[in-house]
Chain A
Amino acid sequence: MWAYEKRLAYPVNIKKTCPKTAQLIISQYGGPDGELSASMRYLAQRYTMPVKKVGGLLTDIGTEEINHMEIICAMVYQLTKNLSPEQAKTAGFDAYYIDHTAGLWPQAAAGVPFTALELQSKGDVFADLYEDLAAEQKARTVYDNLLRVIEDPDVRAPLKFLRAREIVHFQRFGEALEMTKDRLNHNNYYYFNPEFDKTMIHK
Chain B
Amino acid sequence: MNNQSFCQCNTESLAMASVPMQEWCEPYDLGTALYHGTLFPCLNYMFFQAEDIPCPFCDKPTSTKSSEQEKALHELCKISFAITDLTLYLDTHPDCQNGINMMKDLLQKRLDALADYAAKYHPLTQLSIVTGTPESSEYEWEMGPLPWDPFGSEGGLL
Interface residues of chain A, those whose CB is within 8 Å of chain B, are 3, 5-13, 53, 56-57, 60-61, 64, 70, 73-74, 77-78, 81, 126, 130, 133, 143-144, 147-148, 153, 156-157, 159-165, 167-179, 181-182, 186-187, 189-190
Contacts and interface: CB of A to CB of B under 8 A. Distances in A.
Chief secondary structure at chain A's binding surface: helix
B77 interface: yes
Contacts of A189: 13, 15-16
Nearest to B117: A7
Interface residues of B, number: 57
B43 A178 contact: no
Contacts of A157: 35, 53-54, 56
Those 7 A-B pairs whose CB atoms lie nearest each other, nearest first: A174-B19, A164-B37, A74-B148, A175-B92, A57-B91, A161-B37, A178-B9
A13 B148 contact: no
A53 B147 contact: no
A81 B47 CA distance: 30
A42 to B, nearest CB: 12
Given A160-B35, A172-B91, A177-B19, 8 more contacts: A3-B126, A8-B147, A73-B148, A157-B35, A159-B50, A160-B37, A176-B92, A186-B13
17 contacts: A6-B124, A10-B34, A10-B77, A12-B150, A53-B92, A57-B88, A147-B50, A157-B53, A160-B35, A160-B53, A161-B34, A164-B37, A168-B43, A170-B19, A172-B91, A179-B7, A190-B15
Given A56-B91, A153-B54, A9 B150 contact: no
Given A144-B47, A172-B91, A163 B37 contact: yes
B77 A156 contact: no
B7 A156 contact: no
Given A10-B77, A57-B92, A70 B38 contact: no
Contact of A8 (B44, B88, B123, B148): B148
A163 B76 contact: no
A6 B150 contact: no
Contacts of A170: 19
Contacts of B146: 6
Interface in B1-28: 6-9, 11, 13, 15-22
